[in-house]
Structure 1
Amino acid sequence: MVQVIDGDTMVVMKGEESVNVRLYGIDCPEGNQASGREAWIFASKLADGNPVEVQPIDIDRYGRTVATVHVNGRSINEELIRSGHAWVYTQYCTNDFCRDWLKLQSDSQGARSGLWAAKNPTPPWDFRHSFKLAQATPQSSKPKAPPASAASYHGNISSRIFHDSSCQHYDCKACTATFTTRQQALDAGYRPCKKCGAK
């Protein structure tokens, strides 16, 4: 069984054990970023109800297994690039096959597939950096609550608990799953934090 958290993160059941997997060498738009939901839907359709083969490459700082994941002989990593739902994460994609992935990305860009249909799509690493800067900016007055459509949530991939942006645990070390809406977090199997309520 596979539970897709976002485009490049999933939980794979290995017997009775759940393994948190980060797809190697790619970076999908965040859940609260343009095209993020589309990447999640695409990855979910590929993995839904199908047995997967996880080929571990590394363990990241959050304890997740960094891997290529195959379903029915197809690499989910590659399919996300080919369909225009992911960037090749060149900072971390160092294997020989990454050159082939860059060619896939170039073809996807040329075809304006997926996220490349936008004029200037923002890479997720830039989006995360901007988001952290915005969170760190001191407010001269009490900040206004964001509209519901702009609310974002972070999920702890270890405890399966999610937090809203006002929570002290919002940026915890293992809070790497992102959700645009509260319902999206609930649908992914996460529970709201008892302290902040994740409203």
Structure 2
Amino acid sequence: MHKFITLLALLPFMVLANENSLTCYVVGVSDGDTLSCFDAENRKTEKIRLRGIDAPEAKQPFGQRSKQSLSSLAHDQAATVKWSKRDRWGRIIGAVWVEPVDCHGCGHTLDVGRAQLSVGMAWWFRRYANEQPDEERQQYKFEEREAKARRVGLWQEMKPVPPWEWRKR
């Protein structure tokens, strides 16, 4: 029994240790937390759902602004995707890294999910926080807290409705 409990405790770390890396080119943005990336090596386009965030739905306040924000960060950019799972629709769930627009030659150093949080265009998706590496989880938590404190993006609203509640309605 003790070995089983130890195995369960280590499972999240084992999954993250087996993280895959995909190099691709961002060819489309569906909304503030989903994009399409062309994988030239395998000659296919993959849907990528950004790990750790949930952005407003299209008809929700800030839905279109969130999509525009992600587009300005990632569309028409080479990207590196760090991932370890797919969702039930076959989308890759991962962190997407691109070169910052203002830092040519820096490489893929901008985490677009974290950037979306920092400008108030998404919520940190606590429900799936255990699927994030610890450092990423702490950074995302911090960025959401700072965006709230600065009242930027969707945090300008008195009581912004999280997308998981919006979808239930």
What displacement does 1:93 show? 1.8
Could you tell me which residue of structure 1 aligns to residue 7 of structure 2?
Answer: none
Query: When the two structures are aligned, how many residues end up with a matched partner?
Result: 130
Q: Which runs of 5+ in 2 are unaligned?
A: 1-24, 100-108
Q: TM-score normalized by structure 1?
A: 0.64
CA RMSD of aligned residues (A): 0.9
1:98, 1:112 → 2: CA distance? 21
Q: Which of 141, 144, 150 does residue 105 from structure 1 map onto?
A: 144
When normalised by structure 2's length, the TM-score is 0.75
Alignment match, 2:74: 47
Tell me by how many angstroms 1:101 deviates: 1.1
Q: Report the structure, 1 or 2, having the larger helix content.
A: 2
Q: Any idea what SS the aligned residue of 2:38 has?
A: strand
Residue 147 of structure 2 aligns to a residue whose secondary structure is helix
Correspondences of 1:122-161 after superposition (within 5 Å)? 122-130=161-169
- In 2, the alpha carbon distance for the partners of 1:38 and 1:79 equals 14
Once residues 100 and 47 of structure 1 are traced to their aligned partners in structure 2, the CA distance between those partners, rounded to angstroms, is 20
- Which residue is 2:120 aligned to? 84
Q: Secondary structure at the match of 1:70?
A: strand
What is the CA distance between 1:103 and its match in structure 2? 1.3
Deviation track 1:86-114 (CA, whole Å, cap 9, x = no partner) reads 10100012231212211111110000010
- Say whether the 8 Å CA contact 1:57–1:68 is kept in structure 2: no
* Higher relative contact order, structure no. (Cα contacts within 8 Å, ≥ 6 residues apart): 2
In structure 2, which of residues 57, 60, 63 is the aligned counterpart of residue 36 of structure 1?
A: 63
Counterpart of 1:25 in structure 2: which amino acid?
A: G
